[in-house]
């Protein structure tokens, strides 16, 4: 039996999963992420691999999902929310410790791969995986293969400007990437909170905004309608370029049920087609998608 080990290297925890070839979970373990400690983080990842292989009595193929990506030149980590990883040769260091080849991908790519292989997008030729959380990320999977691109930034739709500006045009929010008006500034959890505050002079979490809208709060309902239209415009741009069969949502904001009925109605106005067959779906594996996708990095067709 071929053992696939997937690791999700997050800001607060490191999780590992062992899958058999059918995708059945054999073991799962997690440990806290050593904060700001690159050497400790590498050691923790290697320790998890060695521990789970010891329990199962066999050696596995290792895939790693990270909150960043490898540079196309030199392989050093860039664009990482866990800043201690930036500029580090993570793949090389892990391969030295574990004495085998390691595959590394952005965590959004791992999410998309998991949902494409045996999740909500199973059987679709092209799947776009979306993370709507503290930030906004995306990953592209074509025929169960992650597309990374020449610059290793394929799917980074969150750092494009929001298209078809209406009331969003003024003033554009400053994004952490240094630009203004990025999709992430509008569609992330903090972006939703900030938009409600701009219009209503009160600060609410996305969960509170949704709950109050369900109870008939007109201001919160208006905030969510603005959010849905912005999401529809941003995803329409993706559809116009990729034309995916399926778009799968992940992250905390993907738990809003109304998105799956409202957004496809709205995006029809912005998609360059007489009919839109693309499906907008909730993820199947939830918080496990990232770690499962890392394991599937060795099973790409």
pLDDT digits (tens, 9 = 90+) for 12-69: 889 999 999 888 999 999 999 999 999 999 999 999 999 999 999 999 999 999 988 8
**Exposed e or buried b per residue across 102-137, where buried means at least 16 C-beta atoms within 10 angstroms of its C-beta:** bbbbbbbbbbbbbbbbbbbbeebebbbbbbbbebbb
Residue 116 in domain: no
82 pLDDT higher than 90: no
The verdict on 143 and 274 lying in the same domain is: yes
CATH value at residue 230: 3.30.420.40
Q: How confident is the model at residue 124 (pLDDT cuts 50, 70, 90)?
A: very high
Query: In which domain, by residue range, is 157 found?
Result: 122-283
What is the tens place of the pLDDT at every residue in 206-261? 999 999 999 999 999 999 999 999 999 999 999 999 999 999 999 999 999 999 99
The verdict on 279 and 167 lying in the same domain is: yes
Q: How confident is the model at residue 152 (pLDDT cuts 50, 70, 90)?
A: confident
The verdict on 172 and 45 lying in the same domain is: no
Residue 28 in domain: yes
Q: What pLDDT sits at residue 83?
A: 83
Q: What pLDDT sits at residue 291?
A: 94
Average pLDDT over residues 89-100: 96
Residue 264 in domain: yes
The verdict on 129 and 63 lying in the same domain is: no
Q: How confident is the model at residue 286 (pLDDT cuts 50, 70, 90)?
A: confident
The verdict on 133 and 77 lying in the same domain is: no
The verdict on 106 and 244 lying in the same domain is: no
Q: How confident is the model at residue 168 (pLDDT cuts 50, 70, 90)?
A: low
The verdict on 262 and 166 lying in the same domain is: yes
Alpha carbon distance 266, 261 (integer Å): 9
Residue 49 in domain: yes
The verdict on 106 and 132 lying in the same domain is: no
Q: What pLDDT sits at residue 300?
A: 56
Q: What pLDDT sits at residue 250?
A: 95
Alpha carbon distance 83, 75 (integer Å): 16
Q: How confident is the model at residue 169 (pLDDT cuts 50, 70, 90)?
A: low
The verdict on 39 and 164 lying in the same domain is: no
The verdict on 169 and 211 lying in the same domain is: yes
Residue 266 in domain: yes
Counting residues of the chain whose pLDDT is more than 90, the rounded percentage is 80
Residue 227 in domain: yes
Q: What pLDDT sits at residue 182?
A: 92
Residue 117 in domain: no
**Verdict on whether the full-model pTM lies above 0.85:** yes
301 pLDDT higher than 70: no
The verdict on 129 and 159 lying in the same domain is: yes
- Number of domains, the chain: 2
Q: What pLDDT sits at residue 67?
A: 86
Average pLDDT over residues 117-122: 95
Residue 74 in domain: yes
The verdict on 149 and 186 lying in the same domain is: yes
Q: What pLDDT sits at residue 288?
A: 84
268 pLDDT higher than 70: yes
């Amino acid at each position: 039996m071929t053992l696939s080990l997937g690791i999700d290297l997050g800001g607060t925890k490191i999780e590992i999963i062992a899958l058999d070839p059918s995708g059945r979970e054999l073991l799962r373990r997690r440990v806290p992420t050593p904060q700001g400690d690159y050497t400790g983080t590498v050691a923790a990842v290697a320790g998890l691999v060695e521990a789970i292989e010891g329990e199962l009595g066999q050696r596995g193929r290792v895939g790693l999902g990270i909150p960043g990506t490898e540079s196309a030149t030199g392989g050093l980590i860039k664009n990482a929310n866990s800043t201690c990883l930036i500029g580090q040769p993570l793949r090389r260091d892990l391969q030295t410790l574990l004495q085998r080849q390691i595959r590394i991908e952005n965590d959004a790519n791992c999410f998309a791969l998991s949902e494409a292989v045996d999740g909500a997008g199973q059987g679709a030729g092209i799947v776009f995986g979306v993370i709507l959380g503290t930030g906004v990320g995306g990953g592209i999977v074509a025929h169960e293969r992650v597309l990374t691109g020449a610059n290793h930034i394929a799917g980074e739709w969150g750092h494009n400007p929001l298209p078809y500006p209406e009331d969003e045009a003024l003033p554009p929010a400053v994004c952490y990437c240094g630009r203004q008006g990025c999709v992430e500034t509008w569609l992330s959890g903090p972006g939703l909170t900030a938009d409600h505050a701009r219009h209503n002079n009160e600060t609410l979490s996305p969960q509170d905004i949704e709950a109050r809208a369900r109870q008939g709060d007109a201001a919160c309902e208006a905030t969510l309608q603005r959010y849905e239209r912005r999401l529809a415009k941003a995803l329409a741009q993706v559809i116009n370029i990729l034309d995916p069969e399926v778009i799968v949502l992940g992250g905390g904001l993907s738990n809003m049920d109304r998105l799956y009925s409202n957004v496809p109605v709205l995006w029809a106005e912005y998609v360059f087609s007489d009919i839109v067959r693309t499906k907008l779906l909730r993820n199947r594996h939830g918080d496990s998608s990232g770690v499962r996708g890392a394991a599937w990095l060795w099973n790409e067709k």
